[in-house]
Amino acid sequence: MLNEQVVFITGAGRGIGRAIAELFASKGAIIAAAARSVGEITEVCDNITSAGGRAIPVQMDLTDESSIKNAITKAQSELGPIDILINNAAVITLHKIVDTPTDAWDQLMSTNMRGLFITCREVLPQMIERKSGRIVNVGSMAGRRGYIEQAAYCASKHALVGFTKVLALETQKFGIRVNMLSPGGVLTGLSTDLRASRGESEDSPEWMTADEVAAAALYLCSQDGAALTDELVLRRYASEPWR
């Protein structure tokens, strides 16, 4: 399905990013696994190559513009033009607004929006030149609703919705397909503190798995005809429908 397509995935060392990397590799994609932790992305790439796939680890800090540029340059020089960009990396902080430290707010925004914007900006020129490409921005139900103690996270994900809309408008004429994937609660390290704050177990069957979200990302990247999904929303089955 994705034979020989180069896929650049942020936050690929764990959780949703890792699940996407492994699933896409099993479908023939060539993976550039990007994250801050070299150990984690190296393990992911080793697993992929051991299974007969092709992947390289790319260290990247989304709060550092030079790091982002160097990571993209490395991926393109070693693997070729990027066909699919998956913007998955994100951080969360849990504070009521009155208790939110400014540096925590800035760090989250720098990772979740500023770093994502720079990544798109640096990948777009070669997609525009080739008049081909896909970008999937991993959002959240927090981009559609508000949640107590998640002001910074909700603000970043609401901003991502607006950014993705403009990205799709500006790139449509170049044959670039832009999607937003917005899952609700997923069993990942990112949600550990959130689940603990709600008194929910580490393996709650009511929370989605990273593999389920990866399957949705694969669906988006398989659309190649007249139809396109602007946003794919995944809610937990146990949550209230249509809310």
Q: Is 239 within a domain?
A: no
Q: Is 241 within a domain?
A: no
Tell me what pLDDT residue 197 has: 63
Q: Is 185 within a domain?
A: yes
- Catalytic one of 147, 153, 219, 237: 153
For the chain, residues with pLDDT lower than 70 are 190-204
Q: Is 35 within a domain?
A: yes
Tell me what pLDDT residue 48 has: 98
With CA atoms as reference, report the closest residue to 80 among 37, 16, 132. 132
The residue range of the domain holding 209 is 6-233
How many domains, in total, are found in the chain? 1
Q: Is 240 within a domain?
A: no
Q: Is 225 within a domain?
A: yes
Integer Cα distance of 41 and 57 in angstroms: 5
Where residue 102 sits, what CATH number does that domain have? 3.40.50.720
Q: Is 147 a catalytic residue?
A: no
Q: Is 24 within a domain?
A: yes
Show the DSSP H helices in 80-131 as ranges.
102-109, 115-130
Tell me what pLDDT residue 146 has: 95
